[in-house]
Structure 1
Amino acid sequence: MTASIATRLPAAALVIALGSAFAALPAAAQSADKEKCFGVAAAGKNDCAAGAGTTCAGTSKMDHQTNAWSYVPKGSCEKTVSKSSSTGYGQLVAFKAAAMKDDMMKK
């Protein structure tokens, strides 16, 4: 019986290791055609974070939070509206919020 347990443990470890490796594949494939875009996520809808106030997915406290990012199709970030950005569009890196104009706050 001891030999049987000794045989099963390495096999189980191999199964766990392979399962973990395959579980990471969709995330890698997803990021190939997407890019991180800061300042575009709705409150609680971010994919992850870049600084204080957030930890990861779903933890942004406000719409267009400047240190929280979401995946968007590659090449579309700087065309996606962001009410907190000085350009009015998402950024490829975390940024400090621009002063919001009255007309932007109404949208």
Structure 2
Amino acid sequence: MAIAVGFTSKPEGHAALHTAVSEARLRDLSVVAVVPDDGDLEQARALLAESGVPHEVRPCQELQPLADALLELAETSTVEFIVIGLRRRTPVGKLLLGSNAQRILLDAPCPVVAVKARPDA
């Protein structure tokens, strides 16, 4: 079993990865990080190697949105849950959720943990 996480080099991506690693340690699971930008692959690999948890880093297929990649992973493997990071939004922006986050929350075949970056991150 594994925890799937969407990783980007933005603060919300780091918050998601941190949460996934913490939960993996608690539950004795591995982490599968899905990375949409090839420029972030090495950073994800380095952070996960530093964490010491069993892990795998997967790039998104060419032109595949992060939501599609995470949902496909959850549907085709033994993912216990998905961790995603959410951006902070203005009061008006809070009425709408990002399309990737909304799609994952609504369509995932497993539980989804949504985290926000700390305000000082």
What interval of TM-score do these two structures reach, taking the shorter chain for normalisation? under 0.3
Higher helix share: 2
TM-score (norm 1): 0.23
Larger Rg: 1
